[in-house]
Amino acid sequence: MEEKNYDEAEKLCLEKANAENTWHYRSGDPEDWNNVLYDIYKTANNREKQIAQAKKLLLMGNEKFWGVLKQIYRECGAWNENYKSLLDELKDSKRTVCYRSVLISENEKKRLLEDVMENPYDLFYYGKYLVKEYPEQIYELCYKEISESCAQAKDRREYKKITKNMAQLIKWKGNDTAKSLIEELKQRYPRKPALLDELEKVEKKL
């Protein structure tokens, strides 16, 4: 790419990208202005701007750019010194799904546990990556999450979701926790026959 064309292309992309709010970013669309801008920097072999744009896109929730940054930093011999700060920035970006996907890919189980304990979003998905190393913490989180969900639940459809999570807890060998929880819920909600019925079904799996 000639320098003049590169400058013009960069200017156009910056104008378009900056005109849109970050929530307009379409990570999977190669023609999104932010993605095009990264490609321009890559084609021009501008390493500094490449890193800055890749980091911006990662912090906007595009986890593909974790691998991109990893490769660039490794080629520069700067991966180890940037690794922790990049993880910290990603956590602070509040892109939970992106952050946790990266933690799983990097086998950062302690960080993943800390994040799930802070915010039990999708606990019964992320728990499978953690229950082997941190069973007691995961069982305790499951107990709390199921108990709180039950307090909000109002019909059989919601009770089924709760007992599905309880069945997952049992699969994770949290039988003692599940037994205690079932007993507690039976005592707490004696006038909810649909819930009691669903609890009896899951109790048979113990």
Is there a single domain that holds both residue 67 and residue 158? no
Cβ atoms 142, 177 nearer than 8 A: yes
Is there a single domain that holds both residue 36 and residue 122? no
Tally the C-alpha atoms within 13 A of residue 73's C-alpha that lie toward its C-beta: 19
pLDDT tens across 106-133, in order?
999 999 999 999 999 999 999 999 999 9
The pLDDT assigned to 20 comes to 64
Is there a single domain that holds both residue 97 and residue 115? no
Which amino acid is it at 76? C
Cβ atoms 100, 125 nearer than 8 A: no
pLDDT tens across 72-98, in order?
999 999 999 999 999 999 999 999 999
Is there a single domain that holds both residue 186 and residue 198? yes
Is there a single domain that holds both residue 55 and residue 94? yes
- Alpha-carbon Rg of the chain, whole angstroms? 23
Cβ atoms 60, 99 nearer than 8 A: no
Cα–Cα distance between 80 and 70 in angstroms, integer? 9
Is there a single domain that holds both residue 74 and residue 89? yes
* pLDDT surpasses 80 at 8: no
Is there a single domain that holds both residue 97 and residue 163? no
Dihedral sign of CA atoms 118, 124, 125, 130 in order? positive
Is there a single domain that holds both residue 93 and residue 2? yes
Is there a single domain that holds both residue 88 and residue 120? no
32-to-22, 29, 42, 78, 132 alpha-carbon distances in Å: 11, 5, 15, 29, 40
Is there a single domain that holds both residue 75 and residue 170? no
Global confidence as pTM? 0.88
Domain's final residue, options 106, 141, 174: 106
**Sorting pLDDT into bands at 50, 70 and 90, what band is 9?**
confident
For the chain, the first-to-last Cα distance in angstroms comes to 66
pLDDT tens across 132-176, in order?
999 999 999 999 999 999 999 999 999 999 999 999 999 999 999
The pLDDT assigned to 7 comes to 78
pLDDT tens across 14-72, in order?
877 776 665 577 777 877 888 888 999 999 889 999 999 999 999 999 999 999 999 99
Cβ atoms 206, 179 nearer than 8 A: yes
Calculate the CA 17 to chain-centre distance: 25
Domain's final residue, options 44, 71, 106: 106
Is there a single domain that holds both residue 102 and residue 161? no
Other beta carbons less than 10 A from residue 99's beta carbon:
25
Is there a single domain that holds both residue 117 and residue 178? yes
Q: How many domains does the chain have?
A: 2
By residue range, what is the domain housing residue 144?
109-206
Domain's final residue, options 55, 78, 106: 106
Cβ atoms 141, 171 nearer than 8 A: no
